[in-house]
Structure 1
Amino acid sequence: MIIPWQQIEPDTLDNLVKEFVLREGTDYGAIEVSLQDKVNQIKTQLENGEAVVVFSELHETVDIQLKNKF
């Protein structure tokens, strides 16, 4: 089930995005990106509709996924 990100409390959304970014692991690219920059990138993807917040009733979990993969 897709949860509209606009319906999530701002602090909750921040925590969800931070947890998602931290779960993704270490970035080994040539340029290091700060946690806040990564959070901003994910929020931009949510705002642009490229990513969605997904709730799994079966597993009782919340995740962020690319819309084209969902």
Structure 2
Amino acid sequence: MIIPWQDIDPDTLTNLIEHFVLREGTDYGESELTMAQKVQHVRQQLAGGEAVIVFSELHESVDIKLRRELGA
């Protein structure tokens, strides 16, 4: 289930994005970015519709996915 990012409390959204960018394997290319830059990048992807927040009822978890990965 896709959750509109606008419906999430701003502090919760920031925590969710920070958790996402801290995960091992999150790659931002050759250049090193600060945490703030990574968070801003994900926020821009959410605002632009490139990324979405997904809630899995089966796993009772929340994740951020690229829309193209979902086929949506």
Partner of 2:43: 43
Q: Which moved more, 1:16-25 or 1:3-12?
A: 16-25
The Cα of 1:55 is off from its aligned counterpart by 0.1
Amino acid at match of 1:50: E
The runs of 5 or more residues in structure 2 that have no matched partner are none
Which residue number corresponds to residue 69 of structure 1?
Answer: 69
Q: What is the TM-score normalised by the length of structure 2? A: 0.88
Note the 1:7-26 alignment, pairs <5 A: 7-25=7-25
> What is the aligned-residue identity percentage?
61
* Alpha-carbon distance in structure 2 between the residues aligned to 1:26 and 1:65: 12
Q: Structure 1 regions of 5+ residues with no counterpart?
A: none
- State the 1:32 CA deviation: 1.4
Q: TM-score, normalised by structure 1?
A: 0.91
Alpha-carbon spacing, 1:68–1:28, altered in 2? closer, same or farther (3 Å): closer
Q: Tell me whether 19-28 or 52-61 shows the greater mean CA deviation.
A: 19-28
RMSD: 1.7
Count residues in correspondence: 70
**Aligned equivalent of 1:53:** 53
**Residue by residue, what CA displacement relative to the aligned partner does 1:9-51 show, whole Å, maximum 9, x if unpaired?**
0000000000000014475854211011000000000000000
